[in-house]
Amino acid sequence: MKEEFKRLKRELVQKGSIIDYYQDTVLVPNGNIVKWDFIGHKGAAAVIPVREDGKILMVRQFRNALDRETLEVPAGGLNGADEPTRIAAGRELEEETGYKSNDIEFLITIRTTVAFCNEKIDIYVAKNLIPSSQHLDEDEFINVEAYSVEELMEMIYNTTIQDSKTICAIMTYAHKYLRK
């Protein structure tokens, strides 16, 4: 027998600049009515910028939620739910690293927190990087650093890198492009 869930109501609790917080009322298969939190997110794109020498450009920035700096692949939210993620990836590449590319290839899609959020991030690989200039938002303070895939893998394994999109991006990139 197929279990059925039916959303009876979705109420906006708080509208934010990045996310919207809702409370859903759901009828579950045993007949109970439950309240579930839901975070609505417009989506994002991330990019792995690969230099000619094979090193990957990473961004180091302060993350308020963790109260510390993190090392991540460049990424950012979509300007609207209908913005193509490839366009967003190219924009974030230039804004955050100061490089452009006409060679951007799709790598993988991830869903970051499926228990309560619909955030989807499409991850791309950018090669043949062209120097440009950073265009940081007024609240962004980013340092660009270059690492080998081996160095990044070690930082993942020793938990220096804990950001899920970055882990997925680096591990998938290594598997797809570097395995023998």
pLDDT by residue (tens digit) across 98-134? 999 999 999 999 999 999 999 999 999 999 999 998 9
CA 50 to mean position of chain CA atoms? 17
pLDDT in tens, 160-175: 999 999 999 999 999 9
Which of 68, 174, 61 lies closest to 123 in space, CA to CA?
Answer: 174
Amino acid 174: pLDDT: 97
Contacts of 36 (CB under 8 A, 6+ apart): 23, 24, 26, 116
Q: Rounded to whole angstroms, how far apart are CA atoms 116 and 95?
A: 30
Domain 42-178 has CATH 3.90.79.10: yes
Catalytic residues: 138
- What is the per-residue pLDDT for 1? 47
Tens digits of residue pLDDT in 3-39: 899 999 999 999 998 899 999 999 999 999 999 999 9
pLDDT digits (tens, 9 = 90+) for 46-57: 999 999 999 999
Could you give the 3-state DSSP secondary structure of residue 61? strand
Supply the pLDDT for residue 2.
67
- Sequence spans of domains, the chain: 6-40, 42-178
Neighbours of 166 (CB within 10 A): 24
